[in-house]
Amino acid sequence: MRLVGAELVESREILPGQWLQAYHAPAIANGSRAGQFVHVRPGDWSGLVLRRPFSINTADAASGIITIHFRTVGRGTEWFTRLRPGDVIDMLGPLGRPFEVDRQSRHLLLIAGGLGMAGVRMLADEALRDARQVVLLFGAASARDVYPSNLLPDEVEYVVATDDGSMGHHGLVTALIPEYEAWADQAFACGPYRMLEALAKQAAGRRQRLGVAKLGRKKGGGKPVAIGSPEARRKAYLQVSMEQNMGCAVGACLGCVVMGVSGTPQRVCREGPVFAFDEVDWEKGWPPGMAS
């Protein structure tokens, strides 16, 4: 984890209210992994005290550039849209635990709902670099919210679902899963809580549906593994990247917990943001007000 001055290189509105920003931050770009995030401080004069967390959308160690993709929802995110190339902001990262891909997995299914694209986008780059195949299922409310395909690598098979049917499949992105679940060795998701909960339920019944006990699973599958450990994620068919309001983002304030199946609260900033789907207690996992 590094605290750096990150220089804005490029900033553009890629969808209504959604921004893609590139920063020169070599110390963070070098060593970041898909699923991790940065914690960024708005400027002193803004009156905003807390840092804001953003997924690392892409990271390129060679150029030292990382990108973030965010939606303007309040004062902090609006402040970032007013930055201009050459401005330097205070950035802490990389933070949190990354997605874990089993070395034998060849077919990766990525599932993103809305801004959840930012949570899985970098995994597509990592997977293609390692000669894996990637299908990315993306759900949005309407065509106007659909992530532009030209911002994805050509090798990614990109499948869109919209709630109103204005582009791609008419309906929820979760309806697309049955077509791909036998193909996929592992699945990785980021998006609204309800979407992740639905995917976790689908994943729980996958073994019975496919009629295989250990599809894609390796030796040692019966050993207990610690919640939050890389092995727990690597063994899971589905990994989810969770969001939670954050204070410190370094594990100290306990402001970001979700409930684990063991009854132990899990800090999204330290044990997460990536969890194996069966590590989260989906009934109790979310504080009131966030379950939408």
Ligand X SMILES: Cc1cc2nc3c(=O)[nH]c(=O)nc-3n(C[C@H](O)[C@H](O)[C@H](O)COP(=O)(O)OP(=O)(O)OC[C@H]3O[C@@H](n4cnc5c(N)ncnc54)[C@H](O)[C@@H]3O)c2cc1C
Residues that bind ligand FES (CB under 6 A): 246-249, 251-256, 267, 269
| Burial category of 250 from C-beta neighbours within 10 Å (exposed 0-12, middle 13-18, buried 19 and up) | middle
Is 263 in a helix, a strand, or coil? coil
Decide if residue 71 touches ligand X (CB under 6 A).
Answer: yes
Cβ closest to ligand X, residue 73 vs residue 143: 73
Q: What does the block give as tokens for 73?
A: 């929802």
Query: What is the separation of C-alpha 135 from the centre of its chain, rounded to a whole number of angstroms?
Result: 15
Q: Which of 33, 69, 132, 206 binds ligand X (CB under 6 A)?
A: 69
70 lines the binding site for ligand X (CB under 6 A): yes
Q: Is 195 in the site for ligand X (CB under 6 A)?
A: no
Residue 69 partner contact from ligand FES, ligand X, none using kind-dependent CB cut-offs of 5 to 8 Å: ligand X
- Judged by beta carbon, residue 139 or residue 285, the one nearer ligand FES is 285
Q: Does 118 bind ligand X (CB under 6 A)?
A: yes
Burial profile 50-79: b = 16 or more Cβ within 10 angstroms, e = fewer: ebbbbbbbbbeeeebbbbbbbebeeebbeb
Among ligand X, ligand FES, none, residue 210 binds (CB under 5-8 Å by kind): none
The whole-angstrom separation of Cα 134 and Cα 148 is 17
C-alpha 13/C-alpha 20 separation (Å) is 6
> For residues 51 and 132, which CB has a smaller minimum distance to ligand FES in the complex?
51
- Single out the segment in contact with ligand X by CB under 6 A; choices: 20-28, 226-234, 238-246, 279-287: 238-246
Number of residues that bind ligand X (CB under 6 A): 22
Binding mask 145-184 for ligand X (x = CB under 6 A): ----------------------------------------
In Å, how far are 13, 139, 177, 212 from 19, measured between CA atoms?
A: 4, 18, 28, 43
Is 155 within 8 Å of 178 (Cβ atoms)?
A: no
Task: Based on the shown chain and the rule CB under 6 A, indicate whether residue 243 belongs to the binding site for ligand X.
Answer: yes
Interface with ligand X, residue 73, by CB under 6 A: yes
Is 286 an interacting residue with respect to ligand X (CB under 6 A)? no
Measured from the CB of residue 256, what is the shortest distance to ligand X in angstroms? 7
Residue 67, C-beta contacts closer than 8 angstroms, at least 6 positions apart? 20, 21, 22, 23, 56, 57, 58, 59
Residue 53 contact, options ligand FES, ligand X, none, Cβ 5-8 Å cut-off depending on partner type: ligand X
d(CA 249, CA 53): 8
Residue 245 contact partner, candidates ligand FES, ligand X, none, CB within 5 to 8 A by sort of partner: ligand X
Is position 23 an interface residue for ligand X (rule: CB under 6 A)?
Answer: no
CB of 231 vs ligand FES, minimal distance in Å:
22
Do the beta carbons of residue 138 and residue 159 sit within 8 Å? yes
Locate 256 and state its tokens. 């970001």
Dihedral (CA of 206, 212, 217, 219) sign: positive
Q: Which is nearer to ligand X, 52 or 206 (CB)?
A: 52
Provide the binding-site residues for ligand X, judged by CB under 6 A. 37, 52-55, 68-71, 73-77, 115, 118, 243-246, 268, 273
